[in-house]
Amino acid sequence: MTDDSLSVRESVTAPAKPVKKRAWSVLVAVLFLLPVGGVLAQFWALRLDSDRAEREAQRELATPTPGRSAWGVLGTIRLDQGRIAEALPLLRKASALEAAAGDDSQDTLALAKANLEGALKGLPGASLQDAEAALVRAQALAPLLPKGKSAATYFSAGLFWQDLGRQNEAVADLQKAVALQPDDWVDEGGGVRYKSAGLSAYYQKMLAGALEP
């Protein structure tokens, strides 16, 4: 990806805590929309959250009936760590569960990223074809999601399509993202809305870049 692209889970006998998903806003806000000081503070906060989430996900997956989110959280952490071969099976499972539930797309997008990065490194089990297939599944999930998540799904997919050299698909998805996110108020569903300053302008900027010859 280019610098402008977005690249975005006690004791053994204690009951496992629910493994939380990362917020969609992290995808954009941490890297691009906060002041430098804010970025550094967010980075360290996320690092601590990631370490804790990794332990909780591992403990959850060791139980007879692990919670659904643990697969995606640990898979995304492994992907962030560059351990793509370990991330792929976790994210495949997470994406399948996500598609069955139809209530999110983060794990499917992470699977696309893992396949894309893995294929470029020549890793066995990763392929550009599988990256494209994951993006198609994410596109199918997008209309089922709240407006803000839908916009973020199309936006992320658009950037991945660019990395795959599929400019027409990239522009189409980025246009959908811009249409769904006309301002900085992000609708997460269930009556939850928050303001992410500069988000709409950033979506528009990336679309404009994609439209350049």
Which tens digits make up the pLDDT trace of 115-154? 999 999 999 999 999 999 999 999 999 999 999 999 999 9
Helix (H) or strand (E) holding 134: helix 128-141
In order of 66, 72, 76, 158, the CA distances from 89 in angstroms are 15, 10, 11, 24
Range list of β-strands (E), 40-197? 185-189, 192-195
25-211 under CATH 1.25.40.10, yes or no? yes
Nearest to 154 by CA among 206, 79, 97, 89: 206
Q: Does this model's pTM top 0.85?
A: no
pLDDT of residue 48: 53
Distance of CA 182 to the CA centre of its chain: 21
- Whether pLDDT at 13 is above 80: no
167: closest CA among 206, 139, 121, 134?
206
Confidence at 110, pLDDT banded by 50, 70, 90: very high
What does the pLDDT average to over 196-203? Answer: 94
Beta bridge partners of 143: none
Answer yes or no: are the C-beta atoms of 115 and 131 closer than 8 Å.
yes
Out of 11-15, 19-23, 159-163, 184-188, pick the least confident.
11-15
pLDDT at 157 over 90: yes
